[in-house]
Structure 1
């Protein structure tokens, strides 16, 4: 029984070390091999423990918690395919920067490659996608406690983005034993147990520097592109660009207030592109741009220099412009590069954007569907709340047709841009902040993560989940997919409604047939402390066709 007791001491030290680096939320899936980790997490007074029976959803729940808190989040799963199911969330975190710590329990080495049950090769399971890996040995009193704690400390000091995978083999027995055994092993760390600091503290040498020629460049004709960033950064960037007199083209995830709304429409117009060709400098803050026309303009623009500023590593510029790739947080960079007041140089671009927005409002006034939902989405947002956007067609419609309020928190999974785990991620965002949350996803996204509706039964504030049911992956209607194969191999209509899913998970449900009923259902959702699933049943290709029509309309104006 001494093995089971030492396993738990080892796990307790491992989790205590993680707590010293800001881990507060721990997401746990059921399993026997992970018992030492689960019991250690449950006994730790600083942890908030979340549980879910689906490891794929659990990984995305952790992703949402990390997005909303900005803190590292730990995940505990058992051995075997349980660990493999974390892969999508790990990949997403690597692309969007959230810090996750995956603690995968494992069989000891003598049970690998010999036909033992639930034993797979977990060393290097996630290939190059984690930022860091630790393959721990089998717990042993012969290994000093200071080795384990300093190994974790060193890894966490270098975990600036993405995931840390810690593979944790545990030999049986896993249960029982005298809890007083092996006290000396833990006690060797002395008064460290009474403190809150890591055993080993390593400093990050990365430093953001001022561009020496910034005074020269800010007197040029500049364009600012805003990708994914925090609400605070979005507001500040909008003011910075306005002071310079530079046009700001914003993604839906920028939270800048999109001062030039409907960019995906007016960028189709030759007059707009001709104005923007005069830019001498383009400065992009944040990555993961959504709009097709913005991506096309970004690819083909040829300023004297192109600067891309993001705290993530890597190039992040698929067009490979000549210029500067600056690794810095938006707020850090703006601190070092104040804006001098300048006159707007881009002519009537602001008037064109406003004209586009007003014409879009008029066109969609009496057209109930996902395009109207996208355009009017700001009117449904809860006060002091937050928004989570799904992928595929709906995020493109919102990016193209809506003007979201400045500084209003917006979250999404726009790294790998998959449809897996979207509801689970939204659940994590809600749990992290306890704010009223509006989430909008498509029907296939909802089906793909249907298990996550179980997570929405435990909301500490009102949550409204709008499922846009256009009967399939209608994003493919925007692409030149062969018409005769589109339905079967791309859109894959499922012909389902979500009333039964809402009933199974005991969620409130509504299926409004017009805009007034939709507003009423959403408003009622904000008055209910729980989750309301609102299904918006719309004609399959109407949203894609509406976007195509509006783009074509502005392309010829």
Structure 2
């Protein structure tokens, strides 16, 4: 049986800019699957594991900057979307989640694949909707149309994010033999126009006065997908005004001229006597999460009565991770830079203090790399990956230690795009997210730097029929959750190796064979050069597995912070 209100969904989705849909198999979801796959104007993909499917869709939405549809059957299938939904929420990535459901009268009645799906993602979603189960009346059809339009409008509206539409469906789910799919030509599309935000003139004057009073001004860049044009504007603005910009690798601001990329290392060992010298009068922050715990701890300690902290960005909630926020400015960073272009320069002495620390740490980093180059370690591997990245490639960083090692060694250099699931910082979904990028952008090369646990946790990301040739997975396999051997708490406990590091002896060789990926095993420093050559080819489907020893990684980690 063909359902008119279901057949309208792909038409409305396309009108609102959706280009892709990721569908997972199931019976209850069949009307949605058929509606999307037979529409032909939205490219559809099928991934059986709903957790992986949702992360792949997140990657597609991030790469295309457009809302991506995901659809699944009822029951635990919908629950498996939760990790990716929470990530999309905190990363402000537009997704429209369609969950097929049992009719309401069958909830809590021991019926198969039936759970309470209404508001399933309620704490980490922009909006939740439910379509009417009976659409025989024209008012119900009108309501269904309105809900789908609103769902896509909400997903795209700044701040973007995931939106959930629960869809109760009664049998039959499949069209009768000979029944033709017909898509209406005049489906109602409700458009939304967002206005351009700007700082009001009186507020701009007030902000300028406070800027003038500050002698030591600091920009803090959180996670962002900042484009080349905005990055150059930021670089020019900060250079002209002599203002240091603290950048994590995931801020994608590493080529900003006054960028400070090594703060995570040198702020850890900063002497108490140096605190006041680097203490800013005004912090201007933008973006989302910050990797560097040491940066956050330092800036929390530098609070003084006259200090200002402005956050520039559009969020659904007020975020104050430094515990010193004084003002929010609800517009994008490029608009802020444009409106403050004519503000005056500051004395360069404050910038020079940060640069001196940066340069000293660069030398220290070089010394550590030189001292620990005999045996494979994760700092050495991360450096090798960076050196071999082709221009304009994407680097996907897994959580726990890979994103931190990469952050230690990052700096000015190649034009690359860095991606990491730092909205919730979970180890799940890294390979799936990168696969989403790779599938829809076949001309863009994707390199993943991951640990062994993150890789094995997400191995179903490779379980599909899409033969992209632009993905290289670099696994740093230390046979454990290495971060627990480095941080103070668990590393000092006698239970650490069994209950925190969770030692395991798996390798990726058989996974590479099963999914037809080229495999290269690296166990010696001398083999790193060959691994670098494989990464730099910019083509293929391969896994490079590099084996390191936890104790060697621990020595390097400690040397960085001595």
Does TM, scored on the shorter chain, surpass 0.5?
yes
Contiguous gaps of at least 5 residues in structure 2: none
Cα distance change of structure 1 residues 354 and 52 upon mapping to structure 2, 3 Å threshold: same
Shift of 1:461: 4.0
Which has the higher mean CA deviation after the structures are superposed, 485-494 or 292-301? 292-301
RMSD of equivalent CA atoms: 2.3
Matched, 1:168 2:167: yes
Could you tell me how far apart the structure 1 residues matched to 2:466 and 2:176 are?
35
Where 1:320 maps in the other structure, the secondary structure is coil
**CA–CA distance in structure 1, aligned partners of residues 386 and 226 of structure 2:** 15
Secondary structure of 1:356's match?
helix
Measured in 2, the distance between the counterparts of 1:31 and 1:467 equals 33
| TM alignment of 1:217-366, pairs within 5 A | 217-219=210-212, 220=214, 221-232=216-227, 233-257=230-254, 259-267=259-267, 268-270=269-271, 273-277=275-279, 279-302=280-303, 304-338=307-341, 339-346=343-350, 347-365=352-370, 366=373
Local SS of the residue matching 1:215: helix
Q: Please state how far the C-alpha of 1:36 moved relative to its aligned partner.
A: 0.8
Q: Counterpart of 1:348 in 2: which secondary structure?
A: helix
Normalised by the length of structure 2, the TM-score is 0.90
Q: Give the one of 380, 399, 402 matched to 2:407.
A: 399
Aligned runs of 1:340-489 on 2, under 5 Å?
A: 340-346=344-350, 347-365=352-370, 366-367=373-374, 368-403=376-411, 405=413, 407-434=415-442, 435-455=444-464, 458-477=466-485, 478-481=487-490, 482-489=492-499
Shift of 1:376: 4.1
Distance in structure 2 (CA, Å) of the matches to 1:252 and 1:332: 23
> Does the 8 A contact of 2:391 with 2:415 survive in 1?
no
**Equivalent pair of 1:422/1:445 in contact (CA under 8 Å):** yes
Count of paired positions: 536
1:225-254 CA distance string (max 9 Å, x none): 111112424443233222210111111111
Q: Which moved more, 1:126-135 or 1:346-355?
A: 346-355
**Alpha-carbon distance in 2 for matches of 1:156, 1:469:** 41
- What CA distance in whole angstroms lies between the structure 2 residues aligned with 1:541 and 1:126? 41
The 4+ residue runs of structure 1 with deviation greater than 6 A are 178-183
Find the partner of 2:154 among 158, 163, 178: 158
TM-score (norm 1): 0.90
TM-superposed deviation, 1:432: 3.4
Deviation at 1:155, TM superposition (A): 3.0
Deviations 1:122-174 (A, max 9, x none): 11222321111111111423134433222222232233322111011111111
Unmatched segments (≥5 aa) in structure 1: 553-557
Could you tell me which of 513, 522, 533 is aligned with 2:543?
533
How far apart are the structure 2 equivalents of 1:529 and 1:401?
A: 25
> Cα 1:273–1:287, aligned 2, differ >3 Å: closer, same or farther?
farther
Q: What does residue 47 of structure 1 align with?
A: 42
One of 122, 125, 129 as aligned partner of 2:124: 129
In 2, distance between residues paired with 1:247 and 1:452? Answer: 40
Which region of structure 1 is more displaced relative to structure 2, 387-396 or 478-487? 478-487
Q: Which range moved further: 16-25 or 525-534?
A: 525-534
Q: Secondary structure at the match of 1:306?
A: strand
